[in-house]
Amino acid sequence: MSDTDTLVRLLADRAEIEDLVARHTVWIDEQRWDETGRIFTEDVAVTSPRGEARGIPALVALVSGGNGYEATLHTKANVVIDLDGDTAAVRANDLGVFLKEGNEAAVAAGTHHYTARRTGAGWRFDGLRVAPFAVTAGLPGRSDPVRRTKNRP
């Protein structure tokens, strides 16, 4: 492969992975559970404050279970992608707003640590660890007004 071909491949890989980060955000907010296989591998492993899941059915059950919100709006920033051949480590800061009945809102901030791998269908996330940074008291299970944790892997 020429230097140009290698650079094009690198840029295409990075663009595809960054698109997965955006699709993950929309997947949650718009509850696009039928698109899960476009984002995650069948054997995905997830650890988050909401619980743990292994595999697509368990992941969908984890995020779609009655959370008591009328709507959510997430945004990701500071996406860092470390490619290593057909695998990648990805880090993205996340800010989520959770709208509850009566326009009451709660906010959560944290960092998403993804692992990704190239599959026959393109890049997919095979792991996700959500590291919370700050959470308002309006979220279920939170009695403290703000909780901060170390945001390191």
Strands 105-119 and 51-54 come out as unpaired
Strands 40-48 and 122-135 come out as parallel
Binning the chain into helix, strand and coil, the percentages to the nearest 5 are 30, 45, 25
pLDDT band at 104 (very low <50, low <70, confident <90, very high): confident
The pLDDT tens digits for 9-67 are 999 999 999 999 999 999 999 999 999 999 999 999 999 988 999 999 999 999 987 66
**Position 95 pLDDT exceeds 60:** yes
Query: Which one has a higher pLDDT value, 153 or 76?
Result: 76
Mean pLDDT of 71-77: 95
Q: How far apart are CA 56 and CA 33, in angstroms?
A: 10
Q: How far apart are CA 27 and CA 17, in angstroms?
A: 15
The pLDDT tens digits for 128-152 are 999 999 988 655 544 444 444 454 4
Show the CA angle centred on residue 34, arms to residues 67 and 65, nearest 5°: 15
